Amino acid sequence: MMRKEISKLLLGVVRKAYGGVKLPPFIVEVPENPEHGDYSTNAALVLSQVLKKSPHEIGTVLAGALRGAKDFSSVAVAGPGFINFTVADDVLAKKISDVLKKGKTWGNTRAGKGKKVIVEYFQLNIAKRPHIGHLRSAVIGDSLKRMFLLAGYHTISDTHVGDWGTQFGILLLAFKGSGMKTSDATLRADPFGVLEGLYIKENERITADPNRRELAKLEFAKLERGGKENRKIWKWMVDVSMENLEASSRRLGLLKFNEHMGESAYEKAMPGIVKMALEKHVAKQLSDGAIIADLSGEGLDEAVLVKSDGATTYLLRDLATILYRKNRHAFQKNIYLVDVRQSHHFRQVFSVAKKLGFDGVGESVHVEFGFMSLPEGNMSTRKGNAISLVAVLGEAHEKALAVIREKNPNVKHADDIAWSVGLGAIKYFDLSHNRRSDIVFRWEDALSFEGNTGPYLQYTHARLKSILRKAKMKKPKILKSISPDALEHRISVMLLRLPEAIGASLETYSPNILANYLSALAHLANEFYHSHPVMQEADAAKRAFRFALVDAVAATLERGLWCLGIDAPDEM
Ligand code: ARG
């Protein structure tokens, strides 16, 4: 919250003290050690290289000039020339009052005003069950969407459903061969189980008898040409899959998607793109008929737009997607939540798109992530033994319910709370890690009520809410003069940093920055309520301030958890 203000102040005093000198890039950070103030900057150190003066001397000049600034109770030079800032108590009082007044809009900024961002995640594939490999995309993508919304971006989410490609030839071949009808009761009862089984079996047959691959290709060609029977079966698969997507998305508590543009939606745009790529000499046709863009000069090999048998590719559909998004939305940012295995693919896509002029308005970013696995093995596999998402969420609920029953046997709505806590545990586990890391999910770690976990944050929030409930005090509207002790001061400064934490998370698409900020705030809050009575405090002014502080920290945790897609129950 204060970072920008401090940077501005610094630029001002540097101009005043040193005339036209340009201040090189400097940082304003939150010192590890609270004794070094609330914020600290290396501005004097970077300036010393330009001015050829000692950083301490420059620091002293700048700190002297800043001493009058009304927002700080102290501006001091420390060490070799760092300038440390301590925020004045009346500023804290005013800002905390603002937080309480803002309520549900606390944390909103205008950083993204007038900018459009497209966030693509939870890209399920038709005729397959969502498995736990889809979880990270959904959870990280949903969190980024939430933060973009808070930061004032016009945000459009899309699932880019995988509903097209040669694998549908395989599925159609298998389905028609099975003699089943889409109206069959067994199929209706468990469509994905049956379809996955058929797909796996057909793949085995193709491996044994490569001629069958030609038959599968034929089936896809019929689908592409609009063959009635194939279209009908395919449409049925799309419909059951989309119903399932909606249900899973609700189960996961994801925000509503703005678009579900399947890969098939780009079918018509593909020939035009191929034509353009050939005309612009971005791509060429090889003697076997394939159409490729040679990116070997950039170390990206050949990008295949059309295969030698004339089939369009996944890459070509992605090019069509960028063109659509550019024309339709004129995005500033177009981001893809897809695991690291596809980073080469996206580099190729972005490179060809750029050559074709599709990126004119904004930038496309592959926000890649590593794998989440269970201790007993991988969570994502194409071999058919994938762990279903529904199963994992069910287990989360069951395990959370047991913990809650044990901790608080009298709590009402234990079942609802268990869904929130189970889901919160999984989401927080995912989001608190660097997204690029491969992570091993362990229930014991994720569900613990202590340490850096979702349930710990939820529990801290519920504790604060219970203090507020028991206090039965009226919300103080405006805090006047306050005199916080060291811990109260630290918490106050910390809670005000929510918008900063959101901004920093968005800069690098890293929700773990926000997660770790919330965890640090919750730790301070725990320290606080164990050592600082609220209602038992005799001094009325202190009591009112502590009450407001508890209220503001609870609001901050609630808003922060919302950004992570995690519920904050009032009781647990
Ligand atoms: N459905 C694809 C898969 O399962 C992921 C889609 C990623 N998004 C994209 N625009 N290519 O691999």
Judged against a pLDDT cut of 60, whether residue 335 lies above it is answered with yes
- Tell me if 162 CB under 6 Å of ligand 1: yes
Q: Rounded to the nearest whole angstrom, what is the distance from the C-alpha of residue 364 to the centroid of ligand 1?
A: 15
- 432 ligand 1 Cβ < 6 A: no
- pLDDT at position 382: 41
Which of 268-272, 458-462, 475-479 has the least mean pLDDT?
A: 475-479
Q: Are strands 116-120 and 333-339 parallel, antiparallel or unpaired?
A: parallel
Q: Is 336 in the pocket of ligand 1 (CB under 6 A)?
A: yes
Please state the atom number of ligand 1 nearest to the C-alpha of residue 161.
1
CB atoms within 10 A of CB 82: 22
Rounded to the nearest 5 percent, the helix, strand and coil shares of the chain are: 55, 10, 30
3 state DSSP class of 429: helix
**Is the C-beta atom of 123 inside 6 A of ligand 1?**
yes
pTM confidence score? 0.94
Distance 512 CA to ligand 1 centre (A): 24
Within a domain: residue 233?
no
CA distances from 431 to 31, 149, 260, 428, 570 (A): 24, 18, 24, 5, 22
8 Å CB contact between 557 and 569: no
**Which residue's alpha carbon is at the smallest distance from atom 11 of ligand 1?**
318
Give 524 Cα–ligand 1 centroid separation in angstroms: 41
Compute the average pLDDT of residues 173-195.
94
pLDDT at 472: 78
Domain that holds residue 17: 2-86
How many structural domains does the chain have?
A: 1
- % of the chain surpassing 90 pLDDT: 85
Q: What is the mean pLDDT of residues 352-360?
A: 89
Asked if residue 80 belongs to a domain, the reply is: yes
Q: What is the chain's mean pLDDT, rounded? A: 93
If one residue of 121, 157, 160, 340 were mutated to test the ligand 1 pocket, choosing by the most ligand atoms within 8 A of its CB, it would be 160
Q: Is 338 in the pocket of ligand 1 (CB under 6 A)?
A: yes
Asked if residue 307 is part of any domain, the answer here is no
Q: What is the pLDDT of residue 291?
A: 98
Give all strands of the β-sheet with 116-120 in edge-to-edge order.
154-158, 116-120, 333-339, 363-369
Q: Give tens-digit pLDDT for 124-163.
A: 999 998 887 799 999 999 999 999 999 999 999 999 999 9
Nearest protein Cα to ligand 1, atom 4: 125
Q: Ligand 1 pocket, 219 CB below 6 A?
A: no
Helix axes of 498-507 and 135-150: crossing angle, nearest 10 degrees: 130
pLDDT tens profile 529-541: 999 999 899 998 8
Whether residue 61 is contained in a domain is answered as yes
pLDDT in tens, 341-354: 999 999 999 999 99
CATH number (domain holding residue 72): 3.30.1360.70
CA-CA-CA-CA dihedral for 218, 222, 225, 226, to nearest 10 = -160
Q: What's the average model confidence in pLDDT over 410-431? A: 96
| Calpha distance 166→125 (Å, rounded) | 13
CA atoms within 13 A on the CB side of 119: 28
| pLDDT (0 to 100) of residue 379 | 46
With 80 as the cut, is the pLDDT of residue 384 above it?
Answer: no
Cα gap 371→133, rounded to integer Å = 8
- Band the pLDDT of 478: cuts 50, 70, 90: confident
CA distance 173 to 180: 12
Q: What's the confidence (pLDDT) of residue 474?
A: 72
CB of 316 sitting under 6 A from ligand 1: no
Find the 333 Cα to ligand 1 centroid distance in Å. 18
Cα distances from 56 to residues 39, 48, 283, 452, in angstroms, run 17, 9, 59, 39
> Could you give the residue ranges of the DSSP H alpha helices within 254-359?
270-279, 314-329, 343-355
Binning pLDDT at 50, 70 and 90, where does residue 170 land? very high
Mean pLDDT of 545-558: 96
Q: DSSP string of 300-316? A: --EEEEE-TTS-B-HHH
pLDDT tens profile 88-97: 999 999 999 9
Does residue 293 belong to any structural domain of this protein?
A: no
Measure the N-to-C terminal CA separation of the chain; round to a whole number of Å.
31
For ligand 1, is residue 380 a contact (CB within 6 Å)?
no
Give CA angle at 345 (343, 348), nearest 5°: 110
CA 330 – CA 572 distance, rounded (Å) = 45
pLDDT at residue 477, as a whole number: 65
228 CA from centroid of ligand 1 (Å): 27
Centre of ligand 1 to C-alpha 493, Å, is 42
Separation of alpha carbons 509 and 146, rounded Å? 12
Neighbours of 302 (CB within 10 A): 14
Closest ligand 1 atom number to CA of residue 342 = 12
Residue 30 resides in a domain:
yes
Residue 318 Cβ contacting ligand 1 at under 6 Å: yes
Per-residue model confidence as pLDDT tens digits over 47-64: 999 999 999 999 999 999
432 falls within a domain: no
Distance 121 CA to ligand 1 centre (A): 9
- Atom 5 (ligand 1): residue with closest C-alpha? 123
Is residue 38, in this structure, part of any structural domain at all? yes
- Please tell me if the CB atom of residue 454 comes closer than 6 angstroms to any atom of ligand 1: no
What is the Å distance from ligand 1's center to 30 Cα? 39
User: How confident is residue 1, by pLDDT bands cut at 50, 70 and 90?
Assistant: low
